[in-house]
A and B are shown apart, each in its own frame.
Chain A
């Protein structure tokens, strides 16, 4: 079993839809959670950063962490064609020896005009 599981998609939605992207994980020590957006043949861009459980909102984006279920989500409201990209979840325990983020394999999102 992978440490982080993410549905690869593709997920196709019409413009204006609410998008829900999700990841599950198995390591209960994870406490830092991130979402990256990656356009084709570009480097991933940090989109959202959350520590521990709870919600965080930034414009049209909301990140949710449910540590009891080991489940994180990214919601995109009023989705736009420019949101079409691959979304990667990433997480870390933040322990001293762990400088490494564990990434999901990414979900490809297509927003149709």
Chain B
């Protein structure tokens, strides 16, 4: 079975600093990986998705993630944090690449300090 592990349930960064949210995956087959964001009292929104091809994936709101097979990682980064980035972020994996059977990590809450 596929799974993802998010390292750090809470991450704090200063406004303007680098955002790095860590995710490692476990899969016996090539994984399809996702990052989602959830703002308070809202549903989830897809940030980006990796399927095949280019290992650096660019998403919305200036976020990007790099698929590293050798490290089984799919970390999410943003060069400069903004106050509006404060939210909970979920890494996820799908066996087929589709959205119907996505398995989520436990989430990382990002706090941005002014």
Q: Is this pair of chains taken from one and the same complex?
A: no
Task: List A residues at the B interface (Cβ < 8 Å).
Answer: none
Task: List B residues at the A interface (Cβ < 8 Å).
Answer: none
